[in-house]
Amino acid sequence: EAGVTQSPTHLIKTRGQQATLRCSPISGHTSVYWYQQALGLGLQFLLWYDEGEERNRGNFPPRFSGRQFPNYSSELNVNALELEDSALYLCASSPGPGIAYEQFFGPGTRLTVL
Amino acid sequence: ELKVEQNPLFLSMQEGKNYTIYCNYSTTSDRLYWYRQDPGKSLESLFVLLSNGAVKQEGRLMASLDTKARLSTLHITAAVHDLSATYFCAVEEIFGNEKLTFGTGTRLTIIP
């Protein structure tokens, strides 16, 4: 069974640009989660999508947004990039909200903002 | 706001020794996860602990959860080099909100 996949592996942008990161969940999973792992800040929850809807959001500004498509894949968009947005962005998926459903993580996208 | 603390942050231990990583959290929760991360890699799920007194073991790793003390432990028995990695605990604060709050991580180095 294929795991969570993310693209691209690496992304280099300059300040003020927009970045788009993509995630495909494990087949049969309807929930997709996004996390940011920045140096010195640890792993922080960004967004949760389920059945095409945004269900929960972490403490990030509105320039972090995303969506989930009918096939449950997801996109994370970061507008007006700032240097501190440089981080590893991890996507995870689960069969859906509910007890005993752990989140399975993808390999991540390393975003570098110059 | 939920806070999750791990200690130690860094742990260097010899092969064959036993040690414990501690994960304390600040609010009531009965869903706790342990993950492993190798350098430059993603997170690998190790354990899911869903109730007070839960204990799970896989190989040389054993995790337990005490919800009353708001404490989980990850015990390493007879460490081997392959266990070198960073270990994270994560807590879901409110059932159903699916938001995991991660600890700071414990970087474990096993010395031959």
pLDDT digits (tens, 9 = 90+) for A20-52: 999 999 999 999 999 999 987 889 999 999 999
Structure tokens at B54: 């839960």
Among A26, A103, A109, A110, the residue to mutate for chain B (most B Cβ within 10 A): A103
B47 vs chain A: nearest CA distance in angstroms?
A: 9
The Cα-based distances of B92 to A57, B1, B50, B73, B88 in angstroms read 14, 12, 10, 16, 13
Please report residues of B whose CB lies closer than 8 A to that of A96. none
**What is the residue type of A14?**
T
To the nearest whole number, what is the mean pLDDT of chain A?
A: 93
Closest CA to B25 of B74, B85, B65: B65
pLDDT digits (tens, 9 = 90+) for A92-102: 999 887 766 78
Rounded to whole angstroms, the Cα distance separating A61 from A33 reads 17
Q: How far is A87 from chain B (nearest CA, A)?
A: 12
Report yes or no: A51 and A43 within 8 Å, Cβ to Cβ.
no
Report CA-CA distances (Å) from A80 to A15, A18, A54, B101: 7, 6, 21, 26
